[in-house]
Amino acid sequence: MAKLSIRDLDLAHKHVFMRVDFNVPLTEDGSEITDDTRIKETLPTIEYALRHKAKLILASHLGRPKGKPNPKYSLRPVVDRLRTLLDHRLGTKTNVAFSPDCVGDTAKEMARQLESGQVLLLENLRFHPEEEANDPEFSKKLAALCDVYVNDAFGSAHRAHASTEGITHFVKQSAAGLLMEKELNYLGKALEDPARPFVAIIGGSKISGKIDVINNLLDKVDTLVIVGGMAYTFQRALGVTTGKSLVEEDKIDIAKEALDKAKAKGVQLLLPVDNVLADAFTADAKTQPWDTSKNFPAEWMGLDIGPKSVAAIKEIVAQARTIVWNGPAGVFEFPRFAVGTNAIAEAVAANQDAISIIGGGDSVAAVKQAGVADRIKHISTGGGASLEFLEGKKLPGVEALGNK
């Protein structure tokens, strides 16, 4: 990795400001954490800092409090959970304090009193509108709390906010945390130097959200598999009618261009060869199998890929050495239309010779639902950020980190 890592820094007895992603789901009243995965994911970086005797300041956003303090979005419930997780992980008691504001005199004083190996969690950064506005004065105030900066919040790295970008202009050193480093290594290697064959599977509802990903991947992959709702716009580009399936009429030309680009580049572009058609967009709709080569009946819509498509995808995935998957193959929220998505999850997990990378909330949910998450090499923690990375965009929160 070209960027500095926390492992390149001297942390001992220094104030380390670590941007983490503690944007955890809470109960309606904001009092209890319902899923602590995001806290657990950053524990290795926290442990690393504490074992290297840092005075550790943790900062995060939570939800969308719209620039105002709101108890529903307080990070206070994270303190106890973090303490418990750290005690368990480190085998000793860790001192975790909480500052009710991320800037100001209390935060400054609490940071000053920190001892090496202790943790101070700051209140939600987004209680201040200056955070999302990337206000330089606010960035300076955050920077004043620390000696060095570490960013472990990959999921926020595509946003230039004060705590992800602005702060780096006012600290001596800025480095990636271990989780951030892992994301950059996996995604970076896939795009820059992939083991081949490199297969990308892109699904989900619409082309419009993912055309930049498709275009960038067409420059990199050997095979691009298109599934989900967006496949029907491609199908229309090939002149097959799709009944009531989801189609973006104004994107048919863009689909044609992508098909032409694939041909010109010698990339195999695989579309579903069959579908599960439904007579309504409901969980218990009537269904029938349908080959893509035939025009769809006018009143029916495709809600999943069919068994022949699954077989074709399995074969391609089995031969791949790098696999990137983003987006479901069907309306997987309805179990009867989750068959294709689950089959892809299992096919990706079954190929243990490949570097498999999964991004996007739905595909991540699918591998968890299929019970195969532990056999995927890398599950990205950043939906939006991983998409922008796959688009070939520079992420402001990554660019701002120091170079090795």
Catalytically active residues are 38, 206, 361, 384
Applying CB under 6 A, among 177, 272, 360, 402 the residue interacting with ligand AMP is: 360
* Tokens (6 digits) for 37: 């995965």
CA dist., res. 266 & res. 260, Å (int): 10
CA dist., res. 362 & res. 188, Å (int): 22
Cβ closest to ligand AMP, residue 33 vs residue 200: 200
Smallest gap, in angstroms, from Cβ of residue 302 to ligand AMP? 5
Nearest to 323 by CA among 223, 402, 248: 223
Applying CB under 6 A, among 24, 96, 246, 379 the residue interacting with ligand AMP is: 246
Nearest to 157 by CA among 309, 380, 403, 335: 380
User: With binding defined as CB under 6 A, does residue 340 bind ligand AMP?
Assistant: no
Stretch that binds ligand AMP, among 70-78, 123-131, 144-152, 324-332 (CB under 6 A): 324-332
**Taking the CB of residue 220, how many other CB atoms lie within 10 A of it?**
19
Angle, CA 168 vertex, CA 383 and CA 43 arms, to 5°: 50
Cβ closest to ligand AMP, residue 194 vs residue 306: 306
Site track for ligand AMP across 215-244, x = CB under 6 A:
-------------xx---------------
The sheet that has 55-59: what strands, in order across it? Answer: 96-99, 119-122, 55-59, 15-19, 148-151, 173-176
Contact 21, 60 (CB under 8 A): yes
Cβ closest to ligand AMP, residue 180 vs residue 387: 387
Applying CB under 6 A, among 84, 106, 205, 215 the residue interacting with ligand AMP is: 205
Contact 188, 347 (CB under 8 A): no
User: With binding defined as CB under 6 A, does residue 85 bind ligand AMP?
Assistant: no
Stretch that binds ligand AMP, among 126-134, 159-167, 203-211, 257-265 (CB under 6 A): 203-211
User: With binding defined as CB under 6 A, does residue 303 bind ligand AMP?
Assistant: yes
* Tokens (6 digits) for 74: 């307080």
What number of residues does the chain have?
Answer: 404
Cβ closest to ligand AMP, residue 104 vs residue 209: 209
CA dist., res. 191 & res. 57, Å (int): 33
Nearest-CB residue to ligand AMP?
Answer: 204
User: With binding defined as CB under 6 A, does residue 287 bind ligand AMP?
Assistant: no
Number of amino acids touching ligand AMP (CB under 6 A):
16
Residue located via tokens 């520079």: 394
Site residues for ligand AMP per CB under 6 A: 204-206, 209, 228-229, 246, 302-303, 327-328, 330-331, 333, 360, 362
